[in-house]
Amino acid sequence: METKIACVTMILLLLLLIIVLPIDTRRKCLHRVRIDWDQFSQRLIDEGQFHKCYKMSYSSFMALAEKLEPYLLVDERQSCNRTGIEPITHINKLQMCLRWLSGGSYHDVRSNSGVSVAAFYASIHQVVDAIIAHPELQLEFPTSEPAQRHAVKAFERLSSSRIMKGCVGAVDRWLCPIRVPPKKEVSRVRSFFSGHYQRYGVNIQACCDHLSRFTAVTCSSPGGTGDAVAFLKWRLSAIVKNLPKGLYIVGDNAYTNTNQLLIPFPRPRITSSAHDSYYFHLSQLRIRIEMAFGLLVCKLRVFKAPLEISFKRVP
């Protein structure tokens, strides 16, 4: 009987410790001060640094913020009751996302914005999801006849003497560098290693227009996948296959040559002036996608270092 009483007493004491100890040891609530966007943005404008920080003009930033506002709304009352301060506005979320993508340290960005680490990363995901969901911000490959006609005329103007007629886009691959993916999230870690670039990554297939603006993109293939295979797995390949006669996209010789996908001749096979002329005029169009990837990496400097991503969030 005494043994049972001792055991019960011990259990009660342990339960008491479990209940009381966290109350005494938990961290105090931090009262943060949100960024004063009007004052902060005006200072950047006066210093001529706004575009450098966010890779766009102030007017473009505010126009984008207005479009995304309905997707980034929060319950102000619930937020104030929980934190004791004003909620994170849609402008604050957008400026954090753009500044981080532009190469800013998340430590500096989140502390200047007055948010916690968890709130910072949540804001990044919310902004990206909002951009993907907004109907006016969708990438659009020309599928209608008027859109294809406009694309053909635009690419034709880029070609010397308007030699290349019928191009509606330029396609290429870019290896997005990533950290070594965890085994629990991918079936074959080795498939993400690119032998050509000697690093881990994700095979990004993209198509652009004559102004190097992306019109279609996919990230569904590991970095070790060949471009021709990755392109066939892309839904765009079916659209390209059914292009009207005379229309095509251009790419490099990592792809399979078809009537709808023109690629350059390999160097040893450029034996005549006709081959050389074809290579030159094709390159005038194909360089647009290389410029697009160059602008992407230059503006969004977060891609300068390997990304640590969760494949559960990759569509």
Report yes or no on 21 lying in a domain: no
Alpha helices in 134-214 (DSSP H): 145-158
**177: helix, strand or coil:** strand
**Residue 307 main-chain phi, psi, to 5 deg:** -85, 145
Are 51 and 164 in a shared domain?
no
Are 171 and 126 in a shared domain?
no
Q: In what helix (H) or strand (E) does residue 292 lie, and over which residues does it extend?
A: helix 273-299
Are 166 and 188 in a shared domain?
yes
Report yes or no on 200 lying in a domain: yes
**121: helix, strand or coil:** helix
Reading phi first (left if > 0) and then psi (alpha if -120 to 50, else beta), residue 267 is in alpha
Report yes or no on 27 lying in a domain: no
Are 250 and 173 in a shared domain?
yes
- Select from 80, 114, 136 the last residue of a domain: 136
**Gap between the Cα atoms of 306 and 315, Å rounded:** 19
- Select from 136, 165, 199 the last residue of a domain: 136
Assess contact for 37 and 91: CB atoms under 8 A: yes
CB contact burial 11-41 (16+ within 10 A = b; e otherwise): eeeeeeeeeeeeeeeeeeeeebeebeeeebb
Q: In what helix (H) or strand (E) does residue 171 lie, and over which residues does it extend?
A: strand 167-177
Are 191 and 209 in a shared domain?
yes
Report yes or no on 26 lying in a domain: no
Are 255 and 171 in a shared domain?
yes
Report yes or no on 30 lying in a domain: no
Report yes or no on 83 lying in a domain: yes
pTM score, two decimals? 0.83
Are 149 and 297 in a shared domain?
yes
Are 115 and 215 in a shared domain?
no
Are 60 and 156 in a shared domain?
no
**Residue 273 main-chain phi, psi, to 5 deg:** -65, -30
Q: Which domain holds residue 72?
A: 37-136
Are 76 and 178 in a shared domain?
no
Are 149 and 290 in a shared domain?
yes
Could you list the pLDDT tens digit for every one of the 315 residues in the chain?
556 666 767 777 666 666 655 555 555 666 778 899 999 999 999 999 999 999 999 999 999 999 999 999 876 666 565 565 678 999 999 999 999 999 999 899 999 999 999 999 999 999 999 999 999 999 999 999 999 999 999 999 999 999 999 999 999 999 999 999 888 888 899 999 999 999 999 999 999 999 999 999 999 899 999 999 999 999 999 999 999 999 999 999 999 999 999 999 877 666 788 888 999 999 999 999 999 999 999 999 999 889 887 776 555
Report yes or no on 15 lying in a domain: no
Residues 6+ apart with CB under 8 A from 213: 292
Q: Is the dihedral of CA 227, 177, 307, 132 positive or negative?
A: negative
- Select from 118, 136, 154 the last residue of a domain: 136
Report yes or no on 29 lying in a domain: no
Amino acid identity, position 85: I
CB contact burial 144-183 (16+ within 10 A = b; e otherwise): eeeebeebbeebbebbeeeebebbbbbbbbbbbbbeebee
**Gap between the Cα atoms of 166 and 156, Å rounded:** 8
Residues 6+ apart with CB under 8 A from 309: 178, 179, 181
- Total domains present in the chain: 2
Alpha helices in 134-234 (DSSP H): 145-158, 227-233
Q: What is the pLDDT of residue 217?
A: 97
Amino acid identity, position 285: L
How, if at all, do strands 261-262 and 248-250 pair? parallel
Residue 41 CA, chain-centre distance (Å), reads 24
Are 281 and 189 in a shared domain?
yes
